[in-house]
Chains A and B, each alone.
Chain A
Amino acid sequence: DAGVTQSPTHLIKTRGQQVTLRCSPKSGHDTVSWYQQALGQGPQFIFQYYEEEERQRGNFPDRFSGHQFPNYSSELNVNALWLGDSALYLCASSLASGGSEKLFFGSGTQLSVL
């Protein structure tokens, strides 16, 4: 049973560039959430996708956008990158109708902005 997979694992960009991160949820899951984790901090919620729509959003600017595809996979896009966007980006999947709403995380994409 494949867990949550994310690509790429590492990425280096320069300020002002744009980046796209990808996530495939755990088999059977239909909800994808994205989190940003700065070094030494806990994950911060960016947004959540369900049925191809953004269902919730955290306190992140519009430079952060996303998409969910019919197969439940998801993308996170960040425009106009700046140094402060350097972080581990985590994708988590869950089942909307599940009795337990625990999140299953991927290994993350480490983004470095120079």
Chain B
Amino acid sequence: EDQVTQSPEALRLQEGESSSLNCSYTVSGLRGLFWYRQDPGKGPEFLFTLYSAGEEKEKERLKATLTKKESFLHITAPKPEDSATYLCAVQGPLYGQNFVFGPGTRLSVLP
């Protein structure tokens, strides 16, 4: 059974204090690993897709990396507007297979 765990559960940072979020997964053949951002009361918003170990993607202050067992979301010099819940999801090997989401990391960036 595909499983995704995320750590830490919650993270509080000062503005400008860089850190990383972790996503560990077990899946029988990874088709893709996805990172989403979710603001309170809203649906998840797509950030990145990673397909193979060693791949990296960047967007503004965010950088996602992937190994065979985990993914990291690095946040460099965060701002208060980066406060949100960050969700990780994996998709198994079959085309169109459903996503399995982790519980998320709640990030708070204080000014």
Contacts and interface: CB of A to CB of B under 8 A. Distances in A.
Question: Which of B32, B43, B97 gathers most chain A CB within 10 Å?
Answer: B43
Nearest to A106: B43
B96 A101 contact: yes
Interface residues of A, number: 28
B34 A102 contact: yes
A50 B101 contact: no
Interface in A13-68: 31, 33, 35, 40-45, 48, 50, 55-56, 58
Interface of B: 4, 31-32, 34, 36, 41-46, 49, 87, 89, 91, 95-104
25 contacts: A4-B43, A31-B96, A35-B101, A40-B103, A41-B104, A42-B89, A42-B104, A43-B44, A45-B100, A55-B96, A56-B96, A58-B98, A90-B44, A96-B96, A101-B31, A101-B95, A101-B96, A102-B34, A102-B49, A103-B34, A103-B46, A105-B45, A106-B43, A107-B41, A107-B43
